[in-house]
């Protein structure tokens, strides 16, 4: 890491959800003296879940041995990755030296499948939250959960909140707030349907159908 003090490794795999990783990338990539690298099992283009956006990954797991921060996003492709022993073993290995091991949305299940979250609290997308208990994890409905050196964010957009929380812990509140201002993260959504508790029942039902399709 020439000229940098911190390396952030963001894991990609086919079928990842874009905002899970791009939101944290925008935040963490703006921290001083920080290098962000996308990493995957094999180099090349990795296509997202909507099959309309791809990221060209240069670094493989073998190339990134001791990142300071590890981040795993979620997406439909995460299910297949839970049986990827190469990914799970890499997560176990880098976790031994990382300052922070983190996940957004259903990426939390990859940390859980690697055995890293057993006995800890964590969060994930509301539609999958209860499933964390199958891995010995205590599910939390909080948008961001910090437990030890593990940080998890709830669904998709919560990755920005998690990354800003992490930025404050790493670089201080002033730096984190400056990043927040630079990206103008001041959400004022036109609807109040951003959580199961606030969304109308019909909207929740429609969301379940679309996620199950």
Q: Where does the chain show beta strands of DSSP type E? A: 6-11, 34-40, 44-47, 54-57, 59-60, 69-72, 100-104, 121-122, 138-139, 144-147, 150-153
Q: 9, 10, 39, 105: which one is catalytic?
A: 105
Identify the H or E element spanning 19: helix 18-28
The span from the CA of 159 to the CA of 115, in Å, is 22
pLDDT of residue 2: 42
How much is the pLDDT for 3? 55
- Alpha-carbon distances, residue 160 vs 48, 66, 116, 153, 165 (angstroms): 18, 24, 22, 8, 9
User: Domain spans of the chain?
Assistant: 6-188
For residue 45, give Cα distances in angstroms to 26, 36, 63, 96, 114: 20, 17, 17, 29, 25
| pLDDT tens over the chain, length 213 residues | 445 699 999 999 999 999 999 999 999 999 999 999 999 999 999 999 999 999 999 999 999 999 999 999 999 999 999 999 999 999 999 999 999 999 999 999 999 999 999 999 999 999 999 999 999 999 999 999 999 999 999 999 999 999 999 999 999 999 999 999 999 999 999 999 999 999 999 999 999 999 998
Is residue 95 flagged as an active site residue? no
| pLDDT score of 25 | 98
CA angle at residue 52 from 48 to 109, to 5 degrees?
Answer: 15
Torsion of CA 150, 156, 157, 162, to 10 degrees: 0
User: How much is the pLDDT for 7?
Assistant: 98
Instruction: Indicate the class that CATH gives domain 6-188.
Output: alpha beta
């Amino acid at each position: 890491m020439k000229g940098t003090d911190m390396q952030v490794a963001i894991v990609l795999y086919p079928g990842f959800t874009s905002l899970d990783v791009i939101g944290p990338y925008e935040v963490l990539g703006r921290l001083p003296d920080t290098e962000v690298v996308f990493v995957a099992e094999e180099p090349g283009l990795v296509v997202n879940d909507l099959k309309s956006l791809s990221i060209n990954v240069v670094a493989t797991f073998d190339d990134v041995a001791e990142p300071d921060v590890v981040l795993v996003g979620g997406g439909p492709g995460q299910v297949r990755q839970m049986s990827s022993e190469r990914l799970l073993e890499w997560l176990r290995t880098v976790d031994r030296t990382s300052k922070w091991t983190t996940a957004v949305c259903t990426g939390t299940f990859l940390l859980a499948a690697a055995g890293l979250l057993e006995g800890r609290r964590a969060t994930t997308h509301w539609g999958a939250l209860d499933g964390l208990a199958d891995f010995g994890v205590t599910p939390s409905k909080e948008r961001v959960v910090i437990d030890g050196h593990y940080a998890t964010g709830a669904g998709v957009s919560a990755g920005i909140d998690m990354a800003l929380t992490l930025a404050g812990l790493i670089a201080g509140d002033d730096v984190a707030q400056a990043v927040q201002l630079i990206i103008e993260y001041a959400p004022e959504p036109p609807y109040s349907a951003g959580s199961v508790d606030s969304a109308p029942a019909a909207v929740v039902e429609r969301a379940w159908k679309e996620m199950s399709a």
